[in-house]
Amino acid sequence: MLVSAKEMLDKAREGKYAVGQFNINNLEWTKAILLTAQECNSPVILGVSEGAGKYMTGFKTVAEMVKAMDESLGITVPVALHLDHGSYEGCYKCIKAGFTSIMFDGSHFPIEENIAKTTELVNVAHGLGLSIEAEVGAIGGEEDGVVGKGECADPNECKMIADLGVDFLAAGIGNIHGKYPENWEGLSFETLAAVNEKVGDMPLVLHGGTGIPDDQIKKAISLGVAKINVNTECQLVFQEATRAYIEAGKDLQGKGFDPRKLLAPGFEAIKAKVKEKMELFGSVNKA
Ligand code: 13P
């Protein structure tokens, strides 16, 4: 059964570990992540961007597929199906489709409008038992064609948004989506510590998990980060494994062209990557 992400993240925050949000794009990714979570006895969050939702023919298709797969694989660990960087309209579509968690990314609105829309969505989500994430300070890099700058959030704005009743908060601390540039300065732990102090026990979310050094991940967890989003790193290992299979000519041997065989190395690579992250984040055996 799919659950809201609130309880798993409150527990993670208290237990000083983080739950991974892994983004899904198709059936193979979903299956790889669900099976790994079960094998690791770890809670997990499946993230769906608006672009991935469109690719999979809509949020209803995604929700129905994830629910059915969770059931038919006999998954017993807590799984949340979460809209990643949702627009106002996207949030309503996911609520209707049966998602168990949403993120409203109002960081590009003026703060007053962000507050008004977030308040409304908090009430709707909570009325239906869903969890809700909000964002303050744009996360840099490019996601679905939207480029942010990698700001550091204002801790007072974080407190304002946290007080609206959101369940977890993504605060920009110099993190960006995708690969980090050579001259990246690293996470701003001063910002994180200041945000953490302002928002009390609120679980914090670290976007752009790809390429952040392990020691910075661990320090972020010690300062209140309880959810870490990883997408690009899974895409990279999937691509590398698929390329190796093709370059070795395996797609031309026997029935190697069968998509179930062709995608198998990428599938295994995602499983290994997700396991590595669950171990690093400390969520193994926390289901
Ligand atoms: P990466 O693609 O950098 O891992 O970021 C994922 C993310 O933050 C999704 O919201």
Q: Is the CB of 105 under 6 A from ligand 1?
A: no
> pLDDT tens digits, residue range 174-204?
999 998 888 888 999 999 999 999 999 999 9
272 Cα to the center of ligand 1, angstroms:
18
176 Cα to the center of ligand 1, angstroms:
8
pLDDT score recorded for residue 149 = 56
> pLDDT tens digits, residue range 208-256?
999 999 999 999 999 999 999 999 999 999 999 999 999 999 999 999 9
pLDDT score recorded for residue 106 = 85
- What is the three-class DSSP state of 86? strand
| pLDDT at residue 145 tops 60 | no
Q: Is the CB of 229 under 6 A from ligand 1?
A: yes
pLDDT score recorded for residue 143 = 54
Confidence of residue 111 (pLDDT cuts 50, 70, 90): confident
pLDDT score recorded for residue 110 = 85
| pLDDT at residue 147 tops 60 | no
What is the C-alpha separation between 151 and 25, in angstroms, rounded?
Answer: 27
Active-site hit among 10, 70, 84, 144: 84
What is the C-alpha separation between 228 and 28, in angstroms, rounded?
Answer: 21
pLDDT score recorded for residue 151 = 83
| pLDDT at residue 97 tops 80 | yes
Contact criterion met (CB below 8 Å) for 121 and 166: no
Q: What is the mean pLDDT of the segment spanning 114-127?
A: 96
pLDDT score recorded for residue 114 = 86
What is the residue-averaged pLDDT of the chain?
A: 95
If we measure between CA atoms, which residue out of 85, 9, 78 comes closest to residue 47?
A: 85
Q: What is the pTM of this model?
A: 0.96
Q: Is the CB of 207 under 6 A from ligand 1?
A: yes
Mutate to test the pocket of ligand 1, among 21, 133, 229 (most ligand atoms within 8 A of CB): 229
Q: Is the CB of 51 under 6 A from ligand 1?
A: no
| pLDDT at residue 142 tops 70 | no
CA dist 220 → 177, 191, 195, 275 (Å): 16, 11, 12, 19
Contact criterion met (CB below 8 Å) for 31 and 73: yes
Mutate to test the pocket of ligand 1, among 50, 210, 228 (most ligand atoms within 8 A of CB): 210
DSSP letter assigned to residue 251: G
Q: Is the CB of 49 under 6 A from ligand 1?
A: no
Which atom of ligand 1 lies closest to the CA of 178? Answer: 3
| Residue tagged 């910075």 (tokens) | 216
| pLDDT at residue 144 tops 60 | no
Contact criterion met (CB below 8 Å) for 141 and 105: no
CA dist 141 → 21, 149, 180 (Å): 18, 6, 8
Q: What is the mean pLDDT of the segment spanning 129-154?
A: 76
> pLDDT tens digits, residue range 37-91?
999 999 999 999 999 999 999 999 999 999 999 999 999 999 999 999 999 999 9
Q: Is the CB of 210 under 6 A from ligand 1?
A: yes
Task: Tell me whether residue 105 is one of the annotated catalytic residues.
Answer: no
Q: Is 141 left (phi over 0), alpha (psi -120 to 50) or beta?
A: left
